[in-house]
């Protein structure tokens, strides 16, 4: 398995490549079902309801007293089969409820017969499972099931799997029930260095779990609180300064298609062109190339790191699918500070590569143009 900072072989398709292949095939073949488009989602597919009925054939499902099912569309019938009549008997379960989950059903974009799973890229299914581990609600032998179309069952290299990725024990399709016999360990709890402040804000119960684990003496440093950032001797930036530096923040799409560029323009100069960056009344700005971005990284997370480091660019050309970004600065001094701050910085488990793009500008822009 590839460790932090270790580059994968160039011929190996990335998780995003696999997601794109599945989404494109489901749409092109007419297998995609509501909600459409399926891109950026755990895709619903024709035959999902029938695939879900295979749950009834699993001894683990029949014996389960408590089942956890994700809210994605392909699992709708699985929820129906499980929850029929539950409103009359169920009660909410909190952190102290000592819940015991006997079976977990998750959605997938792609999955292999070996049990390797790829979700839509936001990490919520992995996080929910890790939270249940921390709560004591699931054990190492708690079976995990996914419901997909047959075309979503693909060969996936184990090198793409990270230590926080959830594996599956059963794959249910409209035509097959696949037992993976996966021996790879599932997440052993919440890996706080993989959690962003953004995710913490979206999941209130995660804050409570973090507080408890911090009181228990565990390291709960978040991804954007990584020590690598503290070593840059940065000062705290007030929200007013952040807003002044970037008055029109723009988030990347939930998942950018392969070859599509996410572009942020200069809020001061709307005519700013990030490919051939020029500012009114000035020469071409200095560009910084940032490479080895992890496929799961969001542009908002890179922007957060740039703000923390106090090296906010005037323009940003995002190519997350190609694991790179181009940052544009008004002067060389700011660009040099960005290179110094970003070089070797760990984001999402990858050590970034940062350098001035001047010496390779023709190469870098050629790559950009080739992906238009």
For the domain made up of 15-189, the CATH class stated in words is alpha beta
Count other Cβ atoms within 10 Å, centred on residue 25. Answer: 16
DSSP annotation of 257: P
Check whether 83 has a pLDDT greater than 80: no
The architecture in CATH of the region 226-370 reads 2-Layer Sandwich (3.30)
Count other Cβ atoms within 10 Å, centred on residue 187. Answer: 22
Q: Determine the length of the chain.
A: 372
Residue corresponding to tokens 């000035």 = 282
% residues pLDDT > 90 (the chain): 35
Task: Find out whether 135 and 189 touch, Cβ atoms under 8 Å.
Answer: no
How distant, in Å, are the alpha carbons of 38, 94, 278 from that of 316? 28, 42, 13
Strands 350-351 and 144-147: unpaired
Tell me the β-bridge partners of 284.
278
- Consecutive H or E run containing 118: strand 117-118
Q: Three-state DSSP class for 351?
A: strand
In what order do the strands lie in the sheet containing 286-291? 262-264, 315-319, 324-329, 286-291, 353-356
Tell me the β-bridge partners of 288.
327, 356
Residue environment code for 300-311, b if the CB has 16+ CB neighbours within 10 A, otherwise e: ebbbbbbbbbbb
Task: Find out whether 108 and 120 touch, Cβ atoms under 8 Å.
Answer: no
Task: Find out whether 289 and 361 touch, Cβ atoms under 8 Å.
Answer: no
Whether the bond into 256 is cis, omega within 30 of 0: no
pLDDT digits (tens, 9 = 90+) for 159-203: 999 888 999 999 999 999 999 999 999 988 998 888 888 888 878
The confidence score (pLDDT) of residue 93 equals 65
The confidence score (pLDDT) of residue 201 equals 81
Which of the two residues, 144 and 297, has the higher pLDDT score? 144
49 — phi, psi (to 5°)?
Answer: -65, -40
* Residue 359 tokens, joined: 């010496």
pLDDT digits (tens, 9 = 90+) for 251-286: 333 333 333 333 333 333 334 344 444 444 445 688
Check whether 43 has a pLDDT greater than 50: yes
d(CA 183, CA 141): 10
pLDDT-derived band at 105 (thresholds 50, 70, 90) equals: very high
Q: What is the pTM of this model?
A: 0.56
**Domain locations in the chain as residue ranges:** 15-189, 226-370
């Amino acid at each position: 398995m590839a460790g932090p900072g270790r580059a994968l072989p160039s011929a190996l398709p990335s998780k995003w490549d696999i997601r794109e292949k599945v989404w494109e095939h489901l749409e092109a073949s007419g297998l995609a079902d509501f909600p459409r488009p399926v891109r950026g989602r755990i895709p619903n597919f024709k035959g999902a309801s029938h695939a879900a009925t295979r749950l009834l054939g699993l001894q683990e499902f029949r014996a389960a007293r408590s089942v956890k099912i994700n809210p994605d569309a392909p699992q709708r019938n699985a929820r129906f089969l499980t929850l029929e009549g539950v409103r009359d008997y169920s009660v909410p379960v909190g952190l102290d409820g000592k819940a015991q989950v006997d079976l977990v059903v998750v959605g997938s974009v792609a999955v292999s017969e070996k049990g390797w799973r790829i979700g839509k890229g936001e990490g919520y299914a992995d996080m929910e499972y890790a939270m249940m581990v921390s709560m004591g609600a699931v054990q190492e032998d708690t079976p995990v099931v996914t419901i997909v179309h047959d075309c979503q069952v693909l060969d996936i290299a184990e090198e793409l799997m990270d230590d926080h990725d959830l594996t599956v024990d059963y794959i249910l399709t409209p035509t097959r029930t696949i037992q993976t016999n996966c021996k790879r360990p599932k997440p052993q709890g919440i890996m706080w260095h993989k959690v962003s402040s953004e995710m913490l804000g979206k999941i209130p119960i995660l804050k409570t779990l973090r507080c408890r684990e911090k009181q228990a003496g565990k390291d709960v440093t978040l991804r954007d609180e990584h020590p690598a950032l503290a070593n840059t001797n940065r000062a705290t930036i007030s929200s007013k300064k952040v807003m002044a530096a970037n008055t029109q923040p723009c988030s990347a799409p939930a998942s950018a298609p392969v070859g599509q560029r996410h572009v942020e323009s200069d809020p001061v100069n709307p005519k700013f062109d990030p490919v051939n960056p020029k500012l009114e009344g000035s020469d071409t700005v200095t560009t910084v190339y940032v490479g080895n971005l992890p496929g799961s990284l969001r542009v908002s997370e890179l922007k957060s790191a740039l703000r923390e480091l106090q090296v906010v660019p005037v323009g940003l050309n995002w190519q997350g699918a190609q694991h790179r970004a181009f940052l544009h600065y008004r002067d060389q001094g700011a660009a040099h500070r960005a290179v110094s701050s970003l070089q070797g910085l760990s984001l999402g488990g990858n050590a970034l590569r940062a350098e001035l793009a001047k010496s390779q500008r023709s190469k870098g822009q050629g790559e950009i143009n080739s992906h238009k």
